[in-house]
Amino acid sequence: MTIKGKNVTELKASAKANLREHYGFPAAVKQVALVAVADPAAREFLAQGLSALGLGAVLWEAETPKPEGKKKRKAAQGSVEIPVTVDLDNVGRAGKIDKNRLYAFDFVVWDDQHSGLDLVEAMSAGVVPVVPEKNAFSGMLTQFDPMQFSGNSFLFKKADPFLMFAAAVGYLENAKFPEDKRILTKNVLQTF
């Protein structure tokens, strides 16, 4: 598979090496997520979960926050308090993401409310979408089925942090198998 005439695997590996260096992620971090979720509490919940799994994550925020230590923030839905931390392992924060940096990410968690992400550009860079079932691209995005080698995304029913995390874990379970990951990436690249 090629992107812009270059081998996808090599292009993504080079971009990921640059991203690791930029954010100080160790080489042991194999999967890197882009979290483009509008709700700050949901972003923090996902960051904590992804960090606990030993993944790298970049939280795409409206503006890059200044480190403030730890504090609590109410979740948008319900009464769950989620601590906001600035020092999670393998988690970086960005106010914007250069489109050339998209190649470094393995998957993106997007809630269809985040205004900065161009999902077409992300998928064109081989980034697997983890998105709500109902979104602007619902007609083109289908749940990946490893038994049929069909589908190009991982879907969640609504913008709930737990459902988003579960869909991201679904991606990770499939990405462990090289052939599944290769087919999934091919399906993603052929979407647009």
Whether residue 144 is predicted with pLDDT greater than 80 in this model: the reply is yes
Judged by DSSP in three states, 174 sits in: helix
Angle, alpha carbons 121-29-8 (nearest 5°): 40
Q: Evaluate the CA torsion angle 158, 161, 166, 171 in order and state its sign.
A: positive
Confidence of residue 121 (pLDDT cuts 50, 70, 90): very high
Confidence of residue 110 (pLDDT cuts 50, 70, 90): very high
Whether residue 42 is predicted with pLDDT greater than 70 in this model: the reply is yes
The confidence score (pLDDT) of residue 61 equals: 87
Whether residue 76 is predicted with pLDDT greater than 60 in this model: the reply is no
Residue boundaries of the structural domains of the chain: 2-189
Whether residue 69 is predicted with pLDDT greater than 50 in this model: the reply is no
Strand pairing of 32-36 and 56-60? parallel
Query: Which letter, b or e, does each residue of 106-116 get, where b requires 16 or more Cβ atoms within 10 Å of its Cβ?
Result: bbbbbbbebee
The confidence score (pLDDT) of residue 82 equals: 46
Q: Evaluate the CA torsion angle 79, 82, 83, 84 in order and state its sign.
A: negative
| Type of residue found at 31 | Q
Whether residue 179 is predicted with pLDDT greater than 70 in this model: the reply is yes
Confidence of residue 71 (pLDDT cuts 50, 70, 90): very low
Q: What is the mean pLDDT of the chain?
A: 86
Residue 149 CA to chain centroid, in angstroms? 21
The confidence score (pLDDT) of residue 177 equals: 96
The confidence score (pLDDT) of residue 63 equals: 46
Residue 184 has φ and ψ, to the nearest 5°, of -60, -45
* Burial of 157 from C-beta contacts in 10 A (0-12 / 13-18 / 19+): exposed
- Specify the pTM: 0.85
Whether residue 46 is predicted with pLDDT greater than 70 in this model: the reply is yes
CATH class held by domain 2-189: alpha beta
- 152-172 pLDDT, tens digit per residue, is 999 999 989 999 999 999 999
Confidence of residue 96 (pLDDT cuts 50, 70, 90): confident
CA-based end-to-end distance of the chain: 15
- 7-27 pLDDT, tens digit per residue, is 888 899 999 999 999 999 998
